[in-house]
Structure 1
Amino acid sequence: MAGHGTDEHPHGADRLCEAGDRVYSRAVRRGRVPRRDAEPVPCLLELALLHPDPDDMDFLVPTAPQEVMTRLLRGVYDEVSASQRRVGTAVAAVEWYAGLGRQLSVAPAEGAAIRVLDGLSRIQAAMDEATQACTTEVLTVQPGGIRREDELTEGLHRALALRGRGVRMRDLYNHVARHGQGLLTYLELMGDAVEARTLDEVIDRLILFDRTVAFIPANTDRTMALELRHPALISYLVTVFERLWRQAIPLSAPIPDSGIEGISHREQSIAALLAEGHQDAVIAERLGISVRTCRAHIARLSETLGAASRTQLGVRIAQAGLDVPTPSRIRIPDQGSPTAR
């Protein structure tokens, strides 16, 4: 724990403070409590006994007592040689809360289907747990253009662990990511364990383990995430990924030309988004480039098409047939092909 929560609530989930006991007990009996009720007891969020309600972020729902017991015992058994007495304390505490929650017998199944992960440490812990359980395949979508080196190294330990167990990985990036040395180094390091393809645009970040659990962002700054285990949601996300994968271009293949002299593939993509009425900042975000780079491409596009204004540029784009992106004219290899690096 960190901050004032550590000083005022120096305990574990097996022995709650009096205030925490009251709030958690009420949450178990009622199914959820308003977020404001938990403000005086930050220990409940720190210990993950309460977490945000996916349907209403102003409320907190209790972690199922059975799940609390599983988490507690995992940690206790790791330290059993030094703290055997704590095992009995944890079991006794959780059994007490389990008795309060008998009326919520369906809650564990619902909580397992969609779980809100609040904070980077909880996200990373859940990702590490999913990595350890993964045995076959990982599918990822990585938006944002050129990946920063710290972003690549943050999950490198998970990727290396997966490679060591023979897990296959498929990654989707924006086309612009091809120009980042960090990504090329990462793919070289991972070898045949990873196959990467690129698109003009990809969806927001997505990570799928063994087609059973997925992680997606839950807010814009990615300090919260959703852990999804509902079969229908997983099936939908797999379908989205596979359709994007079929349209994507392997790193070993060049990005096709626009077919119009003087206009690059990226400028063609920008032209199509301009024709849809998007602002510069939106276009930049969708293509994974900076606003400054986007505007430089728009300026070159205007010069090439002889447009003196944005309005005139829109007319020229339509006249040149750039308002609809040209489909990739390359052969996409089968999934079993060697990794493109």
Structure 2
Amino acid sequence: MSSSHSEFAELDDISAAAYGHAVELGRFIRADIAQRLALSPAEVEHAEKVLTLMRLLQPMPGDPNVLVPVGPDVATADLVSSAEKQISVLQQAVTDVRSRLMSLTPVYFEGRRLRNRLEAIDVITDPDTVQSMLDHFSTHCRHEMASVAPGGARPGALLQAARASALGMRERGVAIRTVYQHTARSDLATRAYVRDVTAAGVEVRTADQVIDRILIYDRETVFLPTHGHHDDVHYASGGAIVVREPTLVAFVYTVFEHLWDSATPFVPDTSRTPSTADDLKQSILRLMAKGYKDEMVARRLGMSVRTCRRHISEITEELEATSRFQAGYNVAISGMLDQHARQEPESG
């Protein structure tokens, strides 16, 4: 290591030999060392300088003009103590900085978790805010809107707003697909709405049972209800969860596609088709066989309890049962549901 780059000098052979003779003499005597080692004055001066820098030569107490040799251990302690102290201070500073910064790790990951959650999912409880967001997404939807609407008859005011929104999106070329429940077919206002929007290119189908209210915009944003009540026909009664996380959105869209593929096209000129009537009957039979009460059957199928009981009464009469319980029992042991399942075409 060069002395020009550090306070540590480089111990060469001449300086080492001069140190050895100084130890023999008990002091560094220039003339004597020059004579013994056959050194020039310049070489002696260089050796003295090196040994002094390396603390191997130190002034004699009481006579600073006389240099005496000290042991390498003493010289080492004297020479590196300052550097070791600096290193220790730097190491402590590094440790302190690392400790302070690493203490923020939980804060960082918690912040990332909250940010990801806020970016991926929003829970909106204010009905006006939900409706404002729905209006915004409907206005700015670019490619496709897919929806699932549980329940039977749609409220008139809701249908009027939905008609304007659907026709506006169709004018922009947005594809629209909607799944209702079979019970919606018996409502005159809903059939009139379906007639208007399907004439504009909207596709509407019905299923006996649906999972819950779903709205999907451009396969990028999903609206789900905060409370899974099938009798809620819109979000205002319980708020909405807005999902933007791509994997979750893709999953919900896959669920919609599965439901869509198994649903029946809604032809508004006929309120009920033989297939949907059979589907509704089979759904009631399945729920009766499971022991569900009238209220639960009605909720699952999106109809009023009164209408549900009328259907159950017809089925009970058809099965020649004297009670609802006996009808459910007859269904379970007759194999009617298994026979219906065997008659259904396999999905390809």
Decide whether aligned partners of structure 1 residues 112 and 155 sit closer, same or farther in structure 2, where only a CA change above 3 A counts.
farther
For residue 124 of structure 1, what is the amino acid of its counterpart?
Q
Match of 2:258 among 243, 264, 274: 243
1:287 lines up with 2:301 in the alignment: yes
Match of 1:316 among 312, 327, 330: 330
Separation (CA, whole Å) in 2 of partners of 1:240 and 1:257: 22
1:201 lines up with 2:209 in the alignment: yes
Aligned equivalent of 2:282: 268
1:138 is displaced (CA, Å) by 0.5
Q: Which secondary structure does the structure 1 equivalent of 2:191 belong to?
A: helix
Separation (CA, whole Å) in 1 of partners of 2:287 and 2:339: 9
Aligned equivalent of 2:178: 171
Decide whether aligned partners of structure 1 residues 142 and 208 sit closer, same or farther in structure 2, where only a CA change above 3 A counts.
same
Check conservation: 2:151, 2:181, Cα contact below 8 A.
Answer: yes
What is the Cα-based RMSD across aligned positions, in Å?
Answer: 2.9
Pairs within 5 Å for 1:218-257: 218-219=226-227, 220=229, 222-252=237-267, 255-256=273-274
Check conservation: 1:255, 1:265, Cα contact below 8 A.
Answer: no
Separation (CA, whole Å) in 1 of partners of 2:117 and 2:324: 51
Q: Percent identity?
A: 35
1:326 is displaced (CA, Å) by 3.2
1:107 is displaced (CA, Å) by 4.1
> 1:258-314, CA deviations, whole angstroms, 9 ceiling, x for partnerless residues?
9xxxx9543332111111221111110111111111112112211111112233222
Check conservation: 2:167, 2:200, Cα contact below 8 A.
Answer: no
Match of 1:150 among 143, 153, 157: 157
Aligned equivalent of 1:214: 222
Separation (CA, whole Å) in 2 of partners of 1:113 and 1:319: 48
Separation (CA, whole Å) in 2 of partners of 1:331 and 1:274: 25
Separation (CA, whole Å) in 1 of partners of 2:173 and 2:292: 43
Check conservation: 2:177, 2:204, Cα contact below 8 A.
Answer: yes
Separation (CA, whole Å) in 2 of partners of 1:211 and 1:157: 22
Decide whether aligned partners of structure 1 residues 266 and 110 sit closer, same or farther in structure 2, where only a CA change above 3 A counts.
closer
Separation (CA, whole Å) in 1 of partners of 2:123 and 2:178: 24
Separation (CA, whole Å) in 1 of partners of 2:303 and 2:153: 8
Aligned equivalent of 1:118: 125
Check conservation: 1:256, 1:330, Cα contact below 8 A.
Answer: no
Check conservation: 1:141, 1:202, Cα contact below 8 A.
Answer: yes
Separation (CA, whole Å) in 2 of partners of 1:202 and 1:224: 19
Q: Which secondary structure does the structure 2 equivalent of 1:171 belong to?
A: strand
Aligned equivalent of 2:9: none
Decide whether aligned partners of structure 1 residues 105 and 241 sit closer, same or farther in structure 2, where only a CA change above 3 A counts.
closer
Separation (CA, whole Å) in 1 of partners of 2:209 and 2:218: 24
Separation (CA, whole Å) in 1 of partners of 2:151 and 2:217: 21
For residue 215 of structure 1, what is the amino acid of its counterpart?
F
1:123 is displaced (CA, Å) by 0.5
Separation (CA, whole Å) in 1 of partners of 2:242 and 2:163: 20
**What runs of 5+ residues in structure 2 fail to find an aligned partner?**
1-107
1:319 is displaced (CA, Å) by 3.6
1:257 is displaced (CA, Å) by 5.1
**What runs of 5+ residues in structure 1 fail to find an aligned partner?**
1-100, 333-341
Pairs within 5 Å for 1:7-18: none
Check conservation: 1:272, 1:322, Cα contact below 8 A.
Answer: no
Decide whether aligned partners of structure 1 residues 312 and 192 sit closer, same or farther in structure 2, where only a CA change above 3 A counts.
same
Check conservation: 1:275, 1:323, Cα contact below 8 A.
Answer: no
Aligned equivalent of 1:127: 134
Q: Which secondary structure does the structure 1 equivalent of 2:219 belong to?
A: coil
Aligned equivalent of 2:25: none
Check conservation: 2:208, 2:279, Cα contact below 8 A.
Answer: no
Pairs within 5 Å for 1:13-52: none
Decide whether aligned partners of structure 1 residues 257 and 128 sit closer, same or farther in structure 2, where only a CA change above 3 A counts.
closer
Check conservation: 1:139, 1:209, Cα contact below 8 A.
Answer: yes
Q: Which has the higher helix share?
A: 2
Q: TM-score, normalised by structure 1?
A: 0.60
Separation (CA, whole Å) in 2 of partners of 1:225 and 1:247: 26
Separation (CA, whole Å) in 2 of partners of 1:325 and 1:229: 43
1:325 is displaced (CA, Å) by 8.4
Q: Which secondary structure does the structure 2 equivalent of 1:169 belong to?
A: strand
